[in-house]
Each structure stands twice: as structure tokens, then as C-alpha cells.
Homo-oligomer: A and B are copies of this chain.
Amino acid sequence: MIKNQLYQQLRSQVYDIIENEAYQTKFSKSFDKFLIVLILLNVSAVIAESVDVWYFPNKHLFDAFEQFSIVIFSGEYLLRLWAIVEKDKDKHPELPNWKRRLQWLKSPGAIIDFISIAPAFLNYFVTVDLRFLRVLRLFRLLKLTRYFAAMRILLIVLHKEKESFKAVIFILIILIVTASSGIYVVENQAQPEVFESIPKSMWWAVVTLTTVGYGDVIPVTNAGKFLGAVITILGVGLAALPAGILASGLASELEQRREILEQKFREMLLDNDDMHLIKDSYKIDKVRRELGLNKEQADEVILQLLREKEYEHRLAEIDKKNYCPHCGEHL
């Protein structure tokens, strides 16, 4: 039984180090940093291997590094799978361990982790084009998402604004299809090679609507140039739309989080109406972190609250003076 307890204690310890974000010791931070560096080195290796003069003389080094990385990432994956049962153990104690593990296996983070190591083992079963296989290792880059709060907020905004993005993609498809069909009808006779069919004309449409404009395919007839000009002007109006939606979505998301933070601070003040509480940095830090806001943003909210508080206080003082201190009647 003591053995079992030790086992559980070890698992809990491992969970705290590799998964629990609230747990921030020197060791858990170093562990995160080591993984971040390893991921970046892996990506650099993939890029460097594509350069023949770098790869061939150091083939064994690159291969050894890949072996090492696979061992580490596989170990990390297994450790996470093993320790994840400690998650929310107090909240849902009835959930069996295999269900917790299955839940984790289906989470986006776990899937990214899996894809990061899977291609390396693929070679044992089927013969795959080596170059393609190597590039697949770039998926490891996505493992970094875990360590960036702003990245997660951006993904949430993308999710929230998905209706708007659908509309934009829908318009974009309409524009691309219309543009390529129009230019195909107009330019097909003048440049039968370049604008051979609608699918071929789509290359021009995409390159133009996104304002990239390589210049390899250009309308030459007057009608084509006129149509091209109209399409370009419409395209420009659309090109920056997704970025605009994302930017304003990001702004309103941060605004909302700041408001929730303010609300929570106000509630803290209700329980205990003195400003010392709000200066309690540990509590503030915890709330702030949950909302993914950085220190400066939290400080701004607190400053604003303090300013309001003082203003209300002064208003109350002035109000008091307007009443008779003896009978309490309004003067």
C-alpha cells in the first residue's frame, strides 16, 4: 500500500511538472524551456537537412539528433499519458483512469504531440518518400502552441469569429470563380495558352485578388485589362478583410477579458472593502493568469479601479457636507 502511495505521489509530481500550469517551480520552468529549445532545434534541423552541402558531410550527426529527439518526445508523450489522470481529480473523482486518458488522447494538444512522433515510426511499416517524411517533422513546431498564451487567445478569436470568416471565404470563392471565369471568356482567344480553361485562369485570379501580382500571367486585351482592373479593386477591398476581422475580434476579446477581470476585482473588494486586498499580488496573479492577460493589462485595470474608488469617495464626502450633521436633513 505504501508502494502504491509512493507511485501516486510520483505521478502527481510528474503531472505538476509537465502539465499543471498553476504549478511554477524552477524545475518545471526549466523542463518547459528544454522542450522549447528542442523543438526549435528540430525545426532548424529539418531546414538544414534540405541543404545538401550541410546534410551529407554531417549525416550521422543529423540522424543521431533525430534519434535523440524521438526518444525525448516519445517519453514526453508517454509521461503525459500516464500522469494526465491527476487532472481535476478533486472535481470529478468518479471518472475512471482510462476515460481520462482517452479524453486527453482526443484533445488537440495530444493529437499534435502524436503527429510529431508518428512519422518517425512510419518507416518501419511502409516505405515513404524520405524527403516528404522529413518535412512532416515540421509539425513539431505546433507543439510550441502550448507555451504561448497569446497564441491560444488568437485561436479562441478565430473560433469565435468563425461565422465572419465563413462569409469571407464564401465571398472569396465567389470572387475567384467569377474572376477566373470572366477573364477566361475575355482573354481565351488572345492568350489561348495562358487562359486555356477556368481552372488554369484561377492562378491569375488568386495572384491578383490577393494583390501578390507576380506578373507571369497578365491580361493583354483592353477588355481583359478593364475586367482585371475592376477585379483588382474589388479584391483589394477584400484582401485585408480577414485581418481586419481578426484584429477587431482580438481587441474585443481582450476588452472583454479586461472587463471580467475588473468584475472579479470588484467582487474581491465586496468581500472585504479595503484596498489592501486588491494589492494582494498572489490572488490577482492567479485571476489574471486564468484570463491569459499579462501583468501590465492587469495593473491598468487596478489603476482604473483605484481612481474610480477615490472619485466616489470624494463625491460621497461632498454629498455629506450638503446635509445637516445634526438632523440629517438636506440643506
> A188–B310 Cα gap in the complex (Å)?
63
The minimal Cβ–Cβ distance linking A218 to chain B, given in whole angstroms, is 5
Residues on B with C-beta less than 8 A from A240 are 236, 239-240, 243-244, 247
Assess whether B245 is in contact with A239, with CB atoms less than 8 Å apart: no
Assess whether B150 is in contact with A167, with CB atoms less than 8 Å apart: yes
The contact string, 1 if C-beta is below 8 Å from chain B, for chain A 206-238, is: 111011111110100000010001001101111
Known A241-B247, A247-B241, A248-B248: A210·B185 in contact at CB below 8 Å: no
Question: Which of the segments A25-33, A43-51, A69-77, A85-93 contacts the partner chain?
Answer: A43-51
Assess whether B216 is in contact with A216, with CB atoms less than 8 Å apart: no
- For window 235-260 of A, CB contacts with B under 8 Å fall at 235-252, 255-256, 260
A178 within 8 A of B: yes
> A184–B129 Cα gap in the complex (Å)?
14
- Range for the number of chain A residues in contact with chain B: 35 or more
Q: Tell me the nearest residue of chain B to A155, going by C-beta.
A: B167
Total identical chains: 4
Assess whether A225 is in contact with B203, with CB atoms less than 8 Å apart: yes
Residues on B with C-beta less than 8 A from A10 are none
A131 within 8 A of B: yes
> A311–B174 Cα gap in the complex (Å)?
43
A274 within 8 A of B: no
A324 within 8 A of B: no
Residues on B with C-beta less than 8 A from A232 are 206-207, 210, 212
